[in-house]
Amino acid sequence: MSSSKKLALEIGVTAILPFLAIWLYEISNMIALSVQGDQVTLTVAGWIPLGVAGVSQGTASSLTKVIQVLLSASLLSPLLLFFSRARFHVAKAFLLATVGAFLASAYWELLSALTVEPMAVHIGIFLMGTVATSSLLLREFAAPRSLKPRLPALPPKG
C-alpha cells in the first residue's frame, strides 16, 4: 500500500475513533452500573450517546467510575495493538490521549469521595498525572522509528 493511501486510511480511521471511544465509554458505564444492580438507560442523539442514567436501590459505589474506565480502556486496547502494528501513529496517539482523558475523568469523579486532602493536593496530583501522560506520549511519538531520517547510501569510491 502506498504511503498516501495508508495516510488516507489512517486519517479515516482516526476520524471514526471519537465516536467509537464515546460509545465504549458509555457502554462501559452501563455495564459498571448494571453490575451493581442499578437499572440503567442509555440516552442517544442520533449516533452519539449522551449519557447513562441509573436508578440505584442503594448508594453508588466509588468504584463505579474505576470499573468503567478499566473496562473502556481494555476494550480500546486491541485497537491500540493493531494501530501499533500497522504504524498508525496518529490513531495510536489519539487512543492513548483518550485513555488519558478517561483516567482524568475517573480521578475527578473520585474527588467527591476524597474530601480529606485539600484541593491544592488534588490539583497537584492531576497535573502530575497529566505531565506523566504527556511525557509518555512525547517519548513515544517524538521521533517514531518509521519517520527517523535515514542517511543516503554513499557511492563506492573508485
Residue 155 lies in a domain: no
Q: Kindly report the pTM of this predicted structure.
A: 0.72
Helix extents (H) in the chain: 3-35, 64-86, 89-110, 119-141
Report the length, in residues, of the chain. 158
Residue 43 lies in a domain: yes
Note the pLDDT tens digit of each residue in 91-110. Answer: 888 888 888 888 877 777 77
Cβ atoms of 53 and 41 closer than 8 Å: yes
Note the pLDDT tens digit of each residue in 105-137. Answer: 777 777 766 667 777 887 887 788 778 877 776
Tell me how many domains the chain contains. Answer: 1
- Residue 99 structural domain: 3-145
